[in-house]
Amino acid sequence: MQLDQATQEQLRQWESELADEYEAIVKQNLKLDLTRGKPSADQLDLSDALDGILKGDYKAADGTDTRNYGGLDGLPEAKELGANLMGVSADKVLVGGNSSLTLMFQMMLTAHQFGLTGPDSAWKNDGDVKFLCPVPGYDRHHTVCEQLGITMVPVPMTDTGPDMDKVEELIKDDPRIKGMWCVPKYSNPTGVVYSDETVERIAALGKIAGPNFRVFWDNAYAVHDLVDNPPELACIMKACETFGTEDSVLQFASTSKITFAGSGVAFVNASQANLKGFKEFLGTCTIGPDKVNQIRHSRFLPDRAALMAHMKKHAELLKPRFAAVLDALDKAFGDTDLGQWQEPKGGYFVSFDTRAGCAKETVRLASEAGVKLTPAGATFPYGEDPEDRNIRIAPSVPSVDEVKGAMKVFVVCVKLASVRAQLGDQ
Ligand SMILES: Cc1ncc(COP(=O)(O)O)c(C=O)c1O
């Protein structure tokens, strides 16, 4: 199917055939869901040994009674787990509760309201604050900015990460830009892994931006590979050390998609100066994190080898689901001008771009046919995809057969929306 070359008559015929196909699907009363990227029940089962792992031994290696208050920046062995996950040194890791999103929000709030390096460094002192958001991106990053009244400036994603020429140009020209969101490995939703050059250029931003500029390096998918020889992400903190820009990057990760999504452990990796500023804020919110859960996780995943072996089990469960999505897209759209996508080598998503102006209609048609998709536009700041093209597909939760069923519907909806749009345009 090549819409750009099709005659009016051909388009009308396709429309009529697809409309019949679509009506037949609607009659099946399907209830399928490709929305949020969360682990399936099978994946959660992989970590059931967390329950009971302590066998009454609550003492950490340094003698800390994990049941008690205290330990604001986390247990040493939990810091090791974070260090193994992010490939950094444990003395620059703080361990929080179950959610890295919470840590990101708290860090953003600290930088904005109170200043990470003293009150003079608070972003709010400089008036309106702006943040760079690579698009398409993670909707909850955008919500954090909206909540704090931070203006979002979209920057296009490329195959190697955010468009760095654009990023550097914007930062040089506007001191009100105080930072940038990044999901550097298996980016949500595109699956892109930032190239070495991109990582190096981001580490160097601290040299051209003001002293309070912070990159939020959300390494949520650091070890979430789907292939045997996964691409490697360069260590941003090492690059920062060479440029003397350690204060400009804040790295986050968690075990949400490693163990239990609702009951995991989250980490921040940052310079001592940033950690000091953050802990001043954190200490007013809590007397200490859930150290019992931290020690459970440290015993369950004692070293990098155990972590990587565990992630292989996740990959075995996820691979057939991703294959079902990619297979359906290849067969339906491989030699058409109806859409574009990339094959992710890890992470939780497949990002599909329809023809311009067709994403919302595709999602609407799918919803009426019983297949829930993430709302079109959700991957853009303020929910506005200027070209109305991007749809995020999250196949981890449904069974393989359900993913296959949902993709059959998706394909028909993309085709129908595209053919109708083309008919309308001619
Ligand atoms: C890029 C990204 N960051 C953070 C999160 C949430 O992490 P957590 O569960 O640690 O709050 C997600 C979850 O989907 C995500 O995709």
CATH number of the domain enclosing 320: 3.90.1150.10
Mutating to test ligand 1, I would choose from 38, 86, 99, 140 the residue with most ligand atoms within 8 A of its C-beta, which is: 140
Distance from C-alpha of 212 to C-alpha of 259, rounded to nearest angstrom: 34
Same domain, 115 and 19: no
Dump pLDDT digits (tens) for 136-169.
Answer: 999 999 999 999 999 999 999 999 999 999 999 9
Query: Over 90: is that where the pLDDT of 415 sits?
Result: yes
Same domain, 106 and 68: yes
Mutating to test ligand 1, I would choose from 98, 107, 133, 218 the residue with most ligand atoms within 8 A of its C-beta, which is: 218
Share of the chain above pLDDT 90, in %: 98
Q: How confident is the model at residue 418 (pLDDT cuts 50, 70, 90)?
A: very high
Q: How far is the CA of 102 from the centre of ligand 1 (A)?
A: 10
Cα separations in angstroms, 320 against 311, 317, 347, 425: 15, 7, 14, 38
Same domain, 82 and 120: yes
The predicted pLDDT at position 1 comes to 85
Q: How far is the CA of 221 from the centre of ligand 1 (A)?
A: 9
Distance from C-alpha of 105 to C-alpha of 138, rounded to nearest angstrom: 14
The predicted pLDDT at position 36 comes to 79
Distance from C-alpha of 128 to C-alpha of 252, rounded to nearest angstrom: 25
Q: Is residue 262 part of a domain?
A: yes
Same domain, 289 and 152: yes
Query: Over 70: is that where the pLDDT of 4 sits?
Result: yes
Mutating to test ligand 1, I would choose from 100, 182, 263, 349 the residue with most ligand atoms within 8 A of its C-beta, which is: 100
Instruction: Find, among 132, 199, 195, 216, the residue nearest to 167 by Cα.
Output: 132
Domain boundary among 256, 273, 302: 302
Which pair of tokens denotes residue 307? 């972590």
Domain boundary among 279, 302, 325: 302
Q: How far is the CA of 41 from the centre of ligand 1 (A)?
A: 18
Same domain, 112 and 37: no
Same domain, 186 and 271: yes
Chain mean pLDDT for the chain: 97
Domain boundary among 267, 302, 337: 302
CATH number of the domain enclosing 123: 3.40.640.10
Same domain, 273 and 323: no
CA-proximal residue: ligand 1, atom 14 (nearest): 37
The predicted pLDDT at position 425 comes to 62
Query: Over 60: is that where the pLDDT of 426 sits?
Result: no
Dump pLDDT digits (tens) for 13-53.
Answer: 999 999 999 999 999 999 999 997 899 999 999 999 999 99
Dump pLDDT digits (tens) for 196-241.
Answer: 999 999 999 999 999 999 999 999 999 999 999 999 999 999 999 9
Question: Ligand 1: residues within 6 Å at CB?
Answer: 37, 99-101, 138, 183, 188, 218, 220, 254, 256, 266
- Residue 121, domain extent: 61-302
**Mean pLDDT, residues 249-276 taken together:** 98
Q: How many domains does the chain have?
A: 2
